[in-house]
A and B are shown apart, each in its own frame.
Chain A
Amino acid sequence: MRQETAGQGQGTARPTPGALLVVATSLVLGPLCAVGLAGVLDGGAVAGVPAGVLLGQLGAPAAFAALVAGYAAFANARERRGGSGAGPGRSRR
């Protein structure tokens, strides 16, 4: 089979541990919120309040918004400080 050239167009980036942590958190939290927290309601309302619905449908979106805002603020601040440059061990060539 004919070989081809990879990496055409533009280069790739290397995800930092912080970015990977954010992604992993969302991948775990997402299904957990959708399945686990909403399921709390199976046991009925807690003191008249449906805790599962409350956490799954109100808490989870707010948590993800905070996660994105926090990540954006952190990454942008780091970039402003020059920490995002192609430093040793970070760039690919």
Chain B
Amino acid sequence: MSVDVREAAAVVVVGSFGAYVAVLLWDRLRSAAVFYVPGRRQRPLAGGIATATGWISAASFLSLAGLTALDGRLGSAYVVGWTAGFVLLAVLVAPALRRAGRHTVPGYLGARFGSPAVRRVAAACALLVTVTYLAAQLRGAAVVLSRLLELPVGAAVGVAALLVMLHAAAGRMRALTAGHVVQYVVLAGAYLVLAGAMLQVLAGEVLPQRALFARLSAAGAALLGGAPGAPLFPALVDRAAAAGLAPTADSARGVADRVAVTLALMAGTVGLPHVLRRFFVVPRRADARATVAWGLVFVVVLYSAVPAVALAVRATLVGTLDGAPRPPAWVQAWAPTGLVRIDPGVGPLQLAGDSGGAGRVEAGPARPLVHVDPDLLVLAAPEALGLSPWIVALAAAGALAAAISSAAGLVLAAAASVVQDLAPGAPAGRDDRITRRAAVSAGVLAVAVAAALALRPPGSVVQLVALAFGVAAAAFFPALVAGAFWPRVTGRAALWGMVVGAALTVGYVHWFRFLHPERDLSAAWWFGISPEGFGAVGAALGAAVLVVVSLLWPAAARPPTGTATEPG
């Protein structure tokens, strides 16, 4: 019996979600933890898996390989920034959060500086970061659902929002830790199987990490026009150049922007509220470090397959679209979603500039231009290569797991920010009916606002996530690091550092992405730094303000608080 992609996806997605819900409900029966407070029996290995699952979002699963396929250098900045950020997290911040007696980043900062104003400003920044990040997850989930349900992507955003709310309501934070283990197995397994299956078609190789050494299979040679047995990568470079795509490692962005993006992602990793929450409840500094280390190991397992997926996606894009006499079946399958568009023209198809094409100018009538949303490439490529519907379904389930698991953690972080930090009066850990209702209302509101943003996102999923990282870097990195290591920093300095860093970054993003998108070009960016990378500038300026204010208006006296020495 043959099944199509939608039937297979229905089985796999429903089955995987059934497994999550079963784990959540089973765990819930054993716990009386509060809705928005993590449990306290977390071991580093389980915590590392949960950290990795919360970390690997739709941006990593769906969008990163697509970005790398179209702009290899910028893709490198994302991979490196997101993994190097774990180093800063392990050394600078995570060990300092344990035993803080708080459950949120704003709560921690407010207590550290003894300032309700710091807490409220930090809560507003945390909400902004969380909602932006959540919008990216909703967009990613919507890309998957739009294909499976054959819905316009806008309607799919609504379905995704509903799924996220149900998932967050089904489990508390402790239960989510158990659910995260199941979700990690699904999403990492799906990604590795997807990468191996695509590589097997193109090069007869199944180990994704060997993709760059692989040689063309007969099918790969037919797709890219080379000879069987020839090295895969140079054949792809030649074919892509013939299709008008720039070399994989070429980037329209300058060195300054790629450095800024890398630093913003590194610093943003240290300031993500939904990631840091996990470290408030680890009992010892050693556990915090071990949790980060395990988390990065599990993240790298998936990231090590990104180049293989990117390579396969790029090969599929140029091999099936460029020069084709008519739209291939996968384009027709994705057409109802609105994520693929073909401009009218005469002759064979041509990739449009926003799909990576260089916009070749040719004599004669214009060819039909194909515009492909980069976020669908990872899901569309296996269909285009004719892989089994079960593998496509597994990829869809993995992408949904990535989006929904991250989104659920974000909803809980948003709820905690509102209930504990913006509306003081509900002590941390309290679990009465009013607090619970307030948390649910805050979560629903956060999802609604994020859904509105996801309907018209200012970029791809990975770019939207990068904007959230930028704001997190600018708002939290200086205050968290100075608060942990510099005794002279004052609450006033932390407050102004956060305000200046966050305001500059948000203003810059708003200017180029919402007010004047027509000017969002590298020539118009300040110092050639894109909105995704401006968080590094915001963090630097915020840190400068923090230092200056601390030195100009020093503290009156320092209480005799005990200190710890960071080993290493």
Contacts and interface: CB of A to CB of B under 8 A. Distances in A.
Q: Does B associate with A?
A: yes
B566 interface: yes
B81 interface: yes
Given A38-B72, A64-B87, A68-B86, A8 B491 contact: yes
B487 A30 contact: no
B227 to A, nearest CB: 13
B341 interface: no
Contacts of B300: 61-62, 64-65
B114 A5 contact: yes
Contacts of B124: none
Interface stretch (B32-40, B289-297, B324-332, B417-425): B289-297
Q: Give the interface SS of chain B, mostly helix, strand, loop or mixed.
A: helix
B76 A4 contact: no
Interface string B99-127: 11000000010011111000000000000
B267 to A, nearest CB: 10
Q: How large is the interface on B (under 10, 10 to 19, 20 to 34, 35 or more residues)?
A: 35 or more
A76 B289 CA distance: 8
Contacts of B554: 3, 6
B364 interface: no
Contacts of A71: 87, 90-91, 289, 293, 568
Instruction: Count chain A CB atoms within 10 A of each CB in B91, B290, B491 and give the residue with the most.
Output: B91
Contact of B84 (A29, A52, A79): A29
Interface in B80-97: 80-81, 83-84, 86-88, 90-92, 95-96
A54 B490 CA distance: 45
Contacts of A7: 487, 555, 558-559, 561
A23 to B, nearest CB: 5
A64 B555 CA distance: 38
Contacts of A86: 562-565
Interface string B465-494: 000000000000000000111111111100
Given A1-B553, A34-B77, A71-B568, A61 B303 contact: yes
Given A6-B489, A33-B80, A12 B568 contact: no
Contacts of B96: 13
B563 A57 contact: no
B31 to A, nearest CB: 28
Interface of A: 1, 3-16, 18-19, 22-23, 25-27, 29-31, 33-35, 37-39, 41-42, 44-45, 48-50, 52-54, 56-58, 60-62, 64-65, 67-69, 71-76, 78-80, 83-87, 90-93
Given A60-B84, A64-B87, 9 more contacts: A5-B559, A6-B554, A11-B562, A15-B568, A38-B76, A48-B234, A58-B307, A61-B83, A84-B566
